Every structure is written in C-alpha cells, then in structure tokens.
Amino acid sequence: MTNLLYITNGINGPGGLERVLSIKASLLADEYNYNVNIATLNQYSQDLFYNFSSKITFHNISAQGNYIKYFNEYRKGLKNLIKKINPQIILVCDDGLKGLLLPFIIGKPCKMIYERHVSKNAELQKNNPNIFQKLIKTIKFKLMDIGAKQYDTFVVLTNGNKNEWNIKNIKVIPNPLSFYPNKVSTLKNKNVLAVGKQSFQKGYDRLLHSWKAIQDEYPDWRLNIYGTINKNQNLEILANELNISKTVTFHNPVKNIAEKYEQASIYVMSSRYEGFGMVLTEAMAYGVPCVSFDCPYGPSDIIENNINGFLVTNGDCALLSQKIKELIKNQNLRIAFGKEARISTKKYLAENIVNKWDVLFKTLLKI
C-alpha cells in the first residue's frame, strides 16, 4: 500500500482548500486504497468542518516561540513524522513561502508534489504597494520560483495559473466537485447567492455597489452572502450606506451549503482574483447560472461566456449589475444557461479528478 503524506496548515476550517482535501484524500483512501496521512500545524481542535474518511490518519505538529525556535520545532516535527510514516509521496498544500521552500527545510526524502491553490499574482493585487513592498515581493517571487523547481511535480488549478510560473515540472489538475445532485434548482426563487469568506480577495464591496442598481429596479430580489464574517471589511456598514441592507443578508458558513445552491436562481462571483473558483462549479452542478468577474484565474476556465453564464470585465460593477439584471428578467435564459452549466461541470466530477491524481502518483513511482 502506497503511503501518502499531505502537509498543510489546518483542515478544520470552512475554506476551499479544506473542502478539496476532504474530497480528494477521502476518495484516495476509500476507493484507491492509498494509506493517507495528513499533517497539520498547531491544530488542536478535532472538530472538522468537512467530513474526512475514517481511514485517514491525522497528525499535528506543534511549533511555538520566536522565529528560530518555531522553525526548528516545525522542521524537527516534520522530519520525525516522515521517518515514522515513511511516505512514498509527500504532497504540500501550503500556499505560503514555507510550503514552497519545504524541500530545503526537510530535504527530499521521497517524491514531492506541491499543490498551488491561489494565484501567484495575488500578492500584486493588494492596495497600492510602495517601492519597499514591491522590492520585498520581487525577492519573494524569486524565492517562490526557486522553491517550485525543487518539486517533482508542481500542480496548479488552471491554465492561467500555469502561465504564471516559468517552470517545466508543472501540471494542471482542477479542483473536484464536492457533489453532483440529482435534484437541481428550479430557478424560480428571487434569490442571488455568493459564497466565500469576507476578504479583499472576494470583492464583496464591489458586489454591494453592483447590487445597489439591482435593488432599485428589482426590490423583491434578495442577495445572500455565505462565508466567514470579517468586521474589518465593513460590509454591513457599506450596505447601510448604500441603503441596501434590507435586501442583503450576510450569513456565517453553513455545512449544508448544497441546500443554498439549490435555493438560488443566480450565482455571482465578485472576486478580485482566485485560484480556481470551486464555488462556480458547485453552483453550476445545481443548474444555477453564474455571473462572474473575469478575474485571474479560474472563471474563464469554468464559464463559457453567453453559453452557460456571463463573464464580466474584472472590476466593471455596472456591467456586473447589467448581466445580473438580464438573468433576473429572463427566466428562460436562466434555464438555458443552467442546463449548459450543469452539463459542463461533469468533467469536474470527483472520480474524474481524483483519477488524474492516481495516474500522477503511479507515473512518479513508475508503478
């Protein structure tokens, strides 16, 4: 039996990486007969948001103190765990610099794969960096490139992500769908949905500005946003300032998010950047048409403009409003887009995606 070791920061949250790992690792353990281990860092809670296979073994590494002590404890903990497990493949799911540089930290005891879940250029999307910050980012990018080349395979989610990296060991494997339901949305509810944590990346401030024009014309429609609430984003304040708080509701993450897709008639993504955009495939699996900013990267790989949804120039809030309105006023268009959307997501079925990983593992191990 092949031993796999996933190294990540944490798996108990409601984020996309945690969801993907729960699907992928569970299938590899249950259906492909891999011995799957997952190592986390400073995760002491056993309460997991997503369900993982009972066949998976979990390990936690504790690292505390100043930078040097933290680094040494993390390195020692990982090396001891690797010696104990003796994995044939290590998979690193850590988008931070330490994840990319892990082959230098622990050496290369076996085949190593890096999974990149965010756009490399995410660092450049933040507000107006000064010259010093730009210099730091330049140095960081050089270190990222050096680290990326040390892996046997460097896996990204989209072709757009692939083009960000000037390396030869790169491969595209998209995220798997977490479900493909038999029952789909009726597209009759006056409900627009968005899912994801409140952050600069998700661009909910842009969505709220877009929603203002929609509320003025369609006051009986509602916008429901599900995701970890961050008061620092001031979204509730913005909703009040725009006088849209009566038609916009912010919800904490829910485990039954599938039910929310089924109740939606339109899904909207307002992100400034993405690694993939798994929420788009989830909504589309329920036959829900999507409107998304054409941000880097993911939406253009998933949505075929004017066929199964709308792609909007990134940041054009007026056009985002316009396209949402087109779907609101035309149920036949919602139905047509929804049917195409559902068909197009079949390629993301978990069994299809996990099979790509199985093939990659066997290729690396020459099985």
- Sheet with 191-195, side-by-side order of all strands: 248-251, 222-226, 191-195, 266-269, 290-293, 309-312
What pLDDT does residue 274 have?
92
316 and 231 within one domain: yes
- Confidence label for 128 from pLDDT (cuts 50, 70 and 90): low
Instruction: Find, among 271, 325, 323, the residue nearest to 300 by Cα.
Output: 271
- Could you identify the residue written with the tokens 């191990």? 365
Average pLDDT over residues 272-290: 96
221 and 75 within one domain: no
| Residue 133 pLDDT > 60 | yes
Helices 278-285, 16-30: inter-axial angle, 10-degree rounding: 70
pTM: 0.90
- Confidence label for 45 from pLDDT (cuts 50, 70 and 90): confident
60 and 148 within one domain: yes
Domain annotation covers residue 182: no
Please tell me the distance from the alpha carbon of residue 309 to that of residue 327, in angstroms, as a whole number.
9
| CA angle in degrees (0–180, nearest 5) for 127-131-133 | 60
- What share of the chain has pLDDT > 70, as a percent? 98
- Could you identify the residue written with the tokens 């010259």? 131
Average pLDDT over residues 335-364: 98
64 and 197 within one domain: no
| CA angle in degrees (0–180, nearest 5) for 205-198-24 | 130
**Strand 290-293, strand 3-8: pairing:** unpaired
Instruction: Find, among 302, 296, 280, 286, the residue nearest to 347 by Cα.
Output: 302
Say if residues 172 and 312 touch (Cβ distance below 8 Å): no
Domain annotation covers residue 183: no
197 and 171 within one domain: no
Tokens describing residue 252 = 């904490």
360 and 340 within one domain: no
Instruction: Find, among 7, 144, 150, the residue nearest to 79 by Cα.
Output: 7
354 and 332 within one domain: no
Domain annotation covers residue 186: no
Give the model confidence (pLDDT) of 160-183 as tens digits.
999 999 899 999 999 999 899 999
Q: CATH number of the domain that 139 lies in?
A: 3.40.50.2000
- Confidence label for 46 from pLDDT (cuts 50, 70 and 90): confident
Could you report how far apart the first and last alpha carbons of the chain are, in Å? 12
Please tell me the distance from the alpha carbon of residue 313 to that of residue 238, in angstroms, as a whole number.
23
Domain annotation covers residue 167: yes
95 and 227 within one domain: no
| Residue 130 pLDDT > 90 | no
Does 130 or 69 have the greater pLDDT score?
69
Say if residues 46 and 37 touch (Cβ distance below 8 Å): no
Query: What b/e sequence results for 207-240 when a residue is b if at least 16 CB atoms lie within 10 Å of its CB, and e otherwise?
Result: bbbbbbbbbeebeebbbbbbbeeeeebebeebbe
300 and 163 within one domain: no
Mean pLDDT, rounded, of the chain: 95
Instruction: Find, among 135, 133, 79, 68, the residue nearest to 102 by Cα.
Output: 79
Give the model confidence (pLDDT) of 224-254 as tens digits.
999 999 999 999 999 999 999 999 999 999 9
What pLDDT does residue 149 have?
97
124 and 60 within one domain: yes
What pLDDT does residue 231 have?
92
Domain annotation covers residue 184: no
Number of structural domains the chain divides into:
2
Domain annotation covers residue 109: yes
Domain annotation covers residue 200: yes
299 and 359 within one domain: no
Give the model confidence (pLDDT) of 109-125 as tens digits.
999 999 999 888 776 65
Domain annotation covers residue 92: yes
Instruction: Give the residue numbers spanning the domain of 125.
Output: 3-176+349-365
65 and 40 within one domain: yes
Please tell me the distance from the alpha carbon of residue 297 to that of residue 239, in angstroms, as a whole number.
27
